[in-house]
Amino acid sequence: MGTLREIQLRLNAIKNIGKITKSMKMIASTKVSKAQRAMESARTYGAASASIYKNANTTPLENEDKVYIVSSSDRGLCGGIHSSVAKATRRLIAQDGTSSGIVVLGDKAKNQMSRTHRGDIQMSFNQIGKAIPTFAEACAAADTIKTSGLKFDTATIIYNEFTSAIAYEATPINVYSSEALKAADAFAAYEIDDDVLENYHEFLFANNIYWGLVEGHASEMSAKRTAMENATKNAGEMVDRLTMTYNRSRQAAITSELVDIITGASAL
């Protein structure tokens, strides 16, 4: 047990930390509603994009090159949300056995993936997560990936799916090649020309990246609110314990001084 001064300094420090985490929780709470509204819009477009693959019974062709796109952000203090997409990506790579490379959206997931797949990371993006992602940012990322020289046919986007205010789950989105789409059983019903299909395929790629970024952002804001709420609660509990320890130490010091005074008075 430290001195009264040390306990008081630690008590004040934890009180200040509790004030900071409480403020961060309130800020995250205001951002969650905006992020959820943007997520609902992105989900609508994302589900429409995914439906064409499902309705056409699209499957990847043999010996196609695959790239894994990990959707994350640059911000921390939100629990294990970045670790979840990194772990899910590692599992998918281990299951597939082959990979043309990894593209990381956000520095947090890059740090996670660099521990085990540093040589497979072909490209990374930062400055993600400061605000709600826009479709223009997703298009810029998709265009950069397309023009970078990275050769791939199928892309798997791993993002955090928002399931509830306190839960999320790492989920993959598959973006198949235009050749795989043309070879699908039910694709002939769409009657799409080749040049239109190529443009539509680029749109699907950018739209699915946008979907993953926006939904991952909503999951991150919700996880940050939960993390800051738990941190504030833990700080409050530590303040209560340290306050009790401080009062007991102070009472013991006063009692010891009284004993010394009474003993000295008795000796006289």
CA angle (191 as vertex; 54, 181 as ends), nearest 5: 40
In a domain, 84, yes or no: yes
pLDDT at 211: 92
Sign of the CA dihedral with 30 first, then 35, 41, and 44 last: negative
38, part of any domain: no
What whole-number distance in Å separates Cα of residue 159 and Cα of residue 190? 29
Distances (CA, A) of 26 to 19, 157, 178: 11, 31, 45
Predicted confidence (pLDDT) at residue 1 exceeds the cutoff of 60: no
Instruction: Pick the more confident residue, 112 or 2.
Output: 112
CB 150 within 8 A of CB 122: yes
Each residue's pLDDT tens digit, 44-74:
888 888 888 888 888 887 777 889 999 998 8
Mean pLDDT of the region 204-222: 91
Tell whether 184 is covered by a domain.
yes
Q: Please tell me the distance from the alpha carbon of residue 75 to that of residue 109, in angstroms, as a whole number.
A: 10
Within a domain: 237: no
Per-residue pLDDT band for 105 (boundaries 50, 70, 90) equals very high
Return the H-helix or E-strand segment holding 157.
Answer: strand 154-164
**268 — pLDDT class (breaks 50, 70, 90):** low
Q: Global pTM?
A: 0.83
CATH of the domain at 111: 3.40.1380.10
Q: Count the domains in the chain.
A: 1
Q: Which amino acid is at 37?
A: R
249 within a domain of the structure (yes/no): no
Predicted local confidence at residue 80, as pLDDT: 85
Coil, strand, or helix at residue 134? coil
Does some domain include residue 234? no
| 95 within a domain of the structure (yes/no) | yes
Amino acid code (one letter) for 202:
E
Q: Residues 10, 238: contact at Cβ < 8 Å?
A: no
Q: Which residue has the tokens 């046919």?
A: 153
Q: Is residue 23 part of a domain?
A: no
Concatenated DSSP letters of 62-73: TT--EEEEEE--
- Provide the b/e sequence for 33-55 (b: ≥16 CB within 10 Å): eebbebbeebbebbeebbebbee
**113-123 tens-digit pLDDT:** 888 888 888 88
For residue 248, give both structure tokens: 């007991």
Q: Residue 107: give the domain boundaries.
A: 48-224
* Residue 194, helix vs strand vs coil: helix
Cα 139 to Cα 68, 181, 199: the distances in Å are 17, 21, 13
* pLDDT for the residue 259: 80
Q: How many CB atoms lie within 10 A of CB 208?
A: 26
